[in-house]
Amino acid sequence: MFVLELCRFVLELCRFVLELCRFVLELCRFVLELCRFVLELCRFVLELCRFVLELCRFVIELCRFVLELCRFVLELCRFVLELCRFVLELCRWHRLWALERSVRAWGQMAGRL
């Protein structure tokens, strides 16, 4: 009788341990799937970071190009400004020359009178 009860107890204990093992196995499967998900998420984030890095590199190059373009336009504006100053100076000299001729002409006319 005692041996039979002991066997039943051991059998129940084995069933309990078996159920516990099944539970642990399911838990391990869940953790494994969770790890796979996290791994895929990390891969996605890594690819996203690579994309953002490439985008940043492109934007930096674009900014460099725009900066060089602005420098070129600035130099062009400086050249045009100097050209305008030169033309303005030519106009001043032309006006002075025309005024001088006009004064001489009036002087000559006054001398004739």
pLDDT tens-digit map of 48-105: 999 999 999 999 999 999 999 999 999 999 999 999 999 999 988 988 788 778 877 7
Taking CA atoms, 10 is separated from 1, 7, 105, 107, 108, in Å, by: 14, 5, 138, 141, 143
Extract the tokens encoding 12: 């129940």
| Better pLDDT: 2 or 31 | 31
Extract the tokens encoding 92: 């001043």
Q: What is the predicted pLDDT for the residue at 25? A: 98
Q: What is the predicted pLDDT for the residue at 113? A: 62
Taking CA atoms, 104 is separated from 82, 90, 91, 95, 112, in Å, by: 33, 21, 20, 14, 12
Please give the model's pTM, rounded to 2 decimal places. Answer: 0.59
